[in-house]
Structure 1
């Protein structure tokens, strides 16, 4: 089929994302790596997901040459899906929370897609489904199908890529991989791959302040809800999404928004380029895992993801006026992150003991 060939050609044109070492003075003997998913053609981890979801729909007979594609998204997934829809000559409608950053909206519209807004972020699901029915289209539904559209056993998924790229490193099997959850699809892919291969790696899911995943996992409650929308775009959900697979997770951390944003800003200075807020959440997870290893006298490697570029958040996380409006003072948290990177000491203000839950 022409559509599948077009998408496979895009995959071959796009080299795999880089695995960047991040040497930190505070954690001798512990090698930290960042898998840079911002290098994909649409600038985020969601490029992989969008390709998988659309291929899944085509191969299930749900997407044809005239199908209107509809998605509920906080931004990045819609950017990537709009890219592939344009490639295939399909119309695409993104259902977004009104609070979505202007830069993401512009990126979606640049691909020729239409943005449809809802005031309440919790209503994106129902509205996307309604629109798809009205247009006789297909609701891609990333929050349900992310975990099943990707072949977690291999076939060049992100987990297989990480372990292949680490194969010649001194600690080729990481002690921990830290990956936050939006749909939950990436953490599910990584966790399943670890179990399938019988690896000693453990999976930590750092979760932003206003998200249902942490409560759902710690309380074994698939109906857990968060009444407040997440300020960390791309991750954190008002409900436990169907793509989140709790059984593959070894630890979860509830990360305050100030810590996520501070970590993103500090890491941006280290890398000399901006990263998104979800990458900051991931970095806090890495600092927790590294501190745990350091306290136990362990050596090894840790991996997390740069989920997207921070250039999409110039009007939010990197805007002091926006931070003031949100009543977020990130200065103390930035200092705490810098101390952790330099000295290996994790300030309880970044993560309290009550915000950590492990199986081990």
Structure 2
């Protein structure tokens, strides 16, 4: 019996993605010195070293495999995604690998560096005025072009096998195995789709680990509000300037029952923390990494005050090089009334004293 042509193409496409995965080593787990908190070890899972430069590389790979195996993606399919940047960059990377047209639907405020990277991989950018418009416009384009709307916000938690298959949770806990505090007391993670937090939370439960999961969320996001009051599912406010995490609505992939605690982080604190961390580790970090660090710093502070020891793990999501024209530009910050000086001082003191004075 002859296999249909599209099935043959799908099999070849999966082989191409698996070969790319096999060529890529796992990302590094970096220990960040905490002079002011002896007995507490802070680690960063550096996702910026993926071929497409961010944590979203894992998600994009999973979404493509999910779409291929579900029969949604064929040799002529146009791929469309709603994304504020990093997911679009990573999906453009895989689309080019498979010879597929890719269109990213994104807010006009997306950094120029991310737009340029999407174009570098052959992707196209389609702009909307508000993040809330991305969903309907992506669905409309998919209908108009006969394409496939990847819809990371719905399928992120379904596309990843949280039991294993080199997901980020399995990788973190494997790399921690020989550390002094090998089972983290806390893992701190942001949420955009909610896929990463769902993967980590499920894996922790599946492996019967005592590790707790903390959500680092921008102040202008619905997720931490939803955790406090499940009736709150949307908000209407000025969006955060932190790209990739925080949403105005609770996305289908966000699983709140997996989160043990959450911290709402002001944008100024996120950007200050990213700058301090970049200086401390000699590696440029994006704003969402700063959000993670600010929340992790509050966890560390609580542990210091309680006399606890242990390890805290969080994520370096992408490089600050993607934000040269925005987050790292002092004029850009001034134009938006964002003053990071107090938060920067507080974060520097955290490293010296072990306590974040907010």
Residue 270 of structure 1: aligned partner: 280
Distance 2:95 2:168 in 1: 22
User: For residues 215 and 320 of structure 2, what CA distance do their matches in structure 1 show?
Assistant: 21
- Where in structure 2 are the equivalents of 1:166-315 lying within 5 Å? 166-221=176-231, 223-315=233-325
Output the CA distance in 2 between the equivalents of 1:221 and 1:179: 23
How far apart, in 1, do the equivalents of 2:327 and 2:309 lie? 33
Q: Partners of 1:14 and 1:249 in 2: how far apart?
A: 30
Q: 1:68 aligns with which of 75, 78, 88?
A: 78
Aligned to 1:126: 136
Which of 162, 165, 174 is 2:175 aligned to?
165
Contact 1:210/1:231 (<8 A) preserved: no
Please state how far the C-alpha of 1:220 moved relative to its aligned partner.
Answer: 1.2
User: Number of matched residues?
Assistant: 348
SS of aligned partner of 1:321: helix
Of residues 105, 127, 141, the one that matches 2:151 is 141
* Match among 80, 99, 107 for residue 97 of structure 1: 107
User: What does residue 326 of structure 2 align with?
Assistant: 316
Give the whole-Å Cα distance in 1 for the aligned partners of 2:85 and 2:259.
26
After TM superposition, the score normalised by the length of structure 1 is 0.96
Q: Which runs of 4+ in 1 moved over 3 A?
A: none
1:206-233 residue CA offsets vs partner (Å, 9 max, x unmatched): 1012111111111113623242212101
Residues 228 and 238, structure 1, Cα contact 8 Å, conserved in 2: no
Does structure 1 retain, via aligned residues, the 8 Å contact 2:96–2:121? yes
Over the aligned positions, Cα root-mean-square deviation in angstroms equals 0.8
Structure 2 residue ranges without an equivalent (≥5): 1-10
CA distance in 2, matches of 1:273, 1:56: 33
Structure 1: which 5+ residue stretches go unaligned? 349-360
What SS does structure 2 have at the residue aligned with 1:179? Answer: strand
Task: Indicate conservation of the 8 Å contact 1:268/1:274, yes or no.
Answer: yes
Q: How many angstroms apart in 2 are the aligned matches of 1:223 and 1:298? A: 35
Give, in whole Å, the separation in 1 of the partners of 2:88 and 2:22.
22
Structure 2 counterpart of 1:355: none
1:169 is paired with a residue of what secondary structure?
coil
Q: How does 1:107-122 map to 2 (within 5 A)?
A: 107-122=117-132
Q: Does 1:33 align with 2:43?
A: yes
Give the CA deviation at 1:294: 1.0
CA contact (8 A) 1:73 1:124 kept: yes
- State the distance in 2 between where 1:112 and 1:345 align: 46
In the alignment, the residues of structure 1 paired with residue 181 and residue 351 of structure 2 have an alpha-carbon distance, to the nearest angstrom, of 20
Q: Which secondary structure does the structure 2 equivalent of 1:168 belong to?
A: coil
Q: State how far apart, in whole Å, the 2-side matches of 1:111 and 1:226 are.
A: 34
Contact kept, 8 Å, 1:76 with 1:234, in 2: the verdict is yes
Q: Is the 8 A contact 1:217 1:246 kept in 2?
A: yes
Give deviations 1:215-263, integer Å, cap 9, x for gaps. Answer: 1111113623242212101111111111110010000000011100000
Post-superposition CA distance 1:267-313 (Å, at most 9, x none): 01112221000000000111111111111111111100000000000
Shift of the alpha carbon at 1:317?
Answer: 1.2
In the aligned structure 2, how far is the partner of 1:194 from the partner of 1:222? 27
Aligned match of 2:18: 8
Output the CA distance in 2 between the equivalents of 1:221 and 1:330.
33
Residue 344 of structure 2 is aligned to residue 334 of structure 1: yes
